[in-house]
Amino acid sequence: MTHTCVGIVGAGPAGLVLAHLLKEQGVESVVLERQTRSYVEKRVRAGLLEHGTVALLEQHGLAERLRARGQVHRGVELRFAGRRHRIPYGELYGGRHMVVYAQQDLVADLIRLWVERGGEIQFAAEDVSLHGFDRERPEIRYTRAGREQRLTCDFVAGCDGYHGVSRGSIPTGALRVYDHRLPFAWVGVLAQVAPSTEEIIYAHHPRGFAGHMLRSQTVSRFYLQTEPDDPIESWPDARIWEELQGRLAVDDGWRLREGPVLEKNVTDMRSFVVEPMQFGRLFLAGDAAHIVPPTGAKGLNLAVADARVLAEALLGRVRASDSRGLDAYSATCLRRVWRVQEFSSWMSWLIHRIPDATPDAELRRRMQRAQLEYLCASPAAGASFAENYVGLENL
């Protein structure tokens, strides 16, 4: 049986950032991850980092590779009615920028630095279960290479994502669950092709939303709106390119490059939050506590924001016996979580094709068009979009 101060379940962005921030101040933790190292270092997910996320990583010496390889962005393109409109969010929000850097590369950097700095991490930790976190000394049990292991700790950080064990370990009735499924889904496509744009494109089209996201000079990410529960088999590669060409088309001669599809899947969209994000000595962070629709590219950034709040709260408790940060942990995180939920939902309803089954669908489509035009024409509307998209800092 071993003991550590903070047992961290999950080596995603939330768990790894938390581990680093604690270690920098001398607080020990052990990270337990269900998957293998090579699996988590290759898992393709998010790619857009907010200004505040990058600043935090830089401040703690975690951003060297990200700075060298990430691409700095200061604007986004909206397309509708065959025309393009740029929103210069950098100018509109005090010169702040965003960075495109793949989540799996960030996770690989954080793991490499964690190991180099002497941190402890157990990959392939199976059957993780949490015990006694309503008492003084929680215990985490897991199996590794066929042998049962026990780790006692002072606090448990549940950073194990939406499908992890932490949230489900909390007694039913102790959490209030908010769960809403949006009537949109995305076909996500990773293709071996150079980008056809320098900035991210969100296209609103009568056939549905299309997005051209960026990854690298040789790989691009695309999204196409589809119906929830649509099987990926109904999206052969030829149909993907035809829909992307049609939905992204503009009238100024711009062309979309095509290339081999490397990966494709259908993701549904939900707004999910549990309150509070803590029970006894167990604290939930990141996707374990909330999921946002992917439209605003916020999930990863929210996970890092939770980790920062939790690290500060734990440091206050462990180093100065000050529990105020931990007592306020959930309320502090939820302020940002709900702001981001609202923005992600608003943006989802702004850029998707409103389904025919929506009450007053035609009326809503006309109001949606008015909103898009307002956003592109008004600096005040642009500034409001910019501060939410780049990430509000005073929350």
State the residues that interact with ligand RFL by CB under 6 A: 9-15, 32-35, 40, 45-48, 103, 125, 128, 159-161, 163-165, 267, 286-287, 294, 297-300, 303
Looking up tokens 């990863």 gives 300
Looking up tokens 């669908």 gives 361
Q: Closest separation between CB of residue 99 and ligand RFL, Å? A: 12
Give the three-state DSSP class for 267: strand
CA–CA separation, 341 vs 203, rounded Å? 21
Given the residues 93, 101, 202, 329, the one annotated as active site: 202
Q: Which is nearer to ligand RFL, 231 or 253 (CB)?
A: 231
Q: Closest separation between CB of residue 357 and ligand RFL, Å? A: 25
Q: Which is nearer to ligand RFL, 45 or 69 (CB)?
A: 45
Query: Order of strands, edge to edge, in the sheet holding 98-100?
Result: 48-49, 98-100, 71-73
Continuous segment of H or E residues that includes residue 305: helix 299-320
From the list 129, 139, 131, the residue with the least C-alpha distance to 1 is 139
CA–CA separation, 285 vs 380, rounded Å? 33
What dihedral do alpha carbons 147, 151, 156, 162 form, nearest 10°? -10
Query: Which distant-in-sequence residues (6+ apart) come within 8 Å of 82 by Cβ?
Result: 249, 250, 251
Q: Closest separation between CB of residue 166 and ligand RFL, Å? A: 8
User: What is the number of other CB atoms lying within 10 angstroms of the CB of residue 283?
Assistant: 29
CA–CA separation, 208 vs 369, rounded Å? 14
Q: Closest separation between CB of residue 159 and ligand RFL, Å? A: 5
Q: Closest separation between CB of residue 271 and ligand RFL, Å? A: 13
Q: Which is nearer to ligand RFL, 127 or 360 (CB)?
A: 127
Q: Please, what's the b/e burial string for 314-346 (b: 16 or more CB within 10 A of its CB; e: otherwise)?
A: bbebbeeeeeebbeebbebbbebbbbbbebbbb
Q: Which is nearer to ligand RFL, 34 or 74 (CB)?
A: 34
Active site annotation includes 205:
no
CA–CA separation, 102 vs 294, rounded Å? 15
Active site annotation includes 42:
no
Q: Which is nearer to ligand RFL, 335 or 364 (CB)?
A: 335
Q: Closest separation between CB of residue 73 and ligand RFL, Å? A: 14
Q: Which is nearer to ligand RFL, 161 or 195 (CB)?
A: 161
Q: Closest separation between CB of residue 326 and ligand RFL, Å? A: 19
Give the three-state DSSP class for 130: strand
CA–CA separation, 263 vs 333, rounded Å? 34
Active site annotation includes 23:
no
CA–CA separation, 133 vs 82, rounded Å? 56
Active site annotation includes 264:
no
CA–CA separation, 216 vs 276, rounded Å? 38
Q: Which is nearer to ligand RFL, 46 or 92 (CB)?
A: 46
Give catalytic residues, as residue numbers: 73, 202, 294, 298, 389
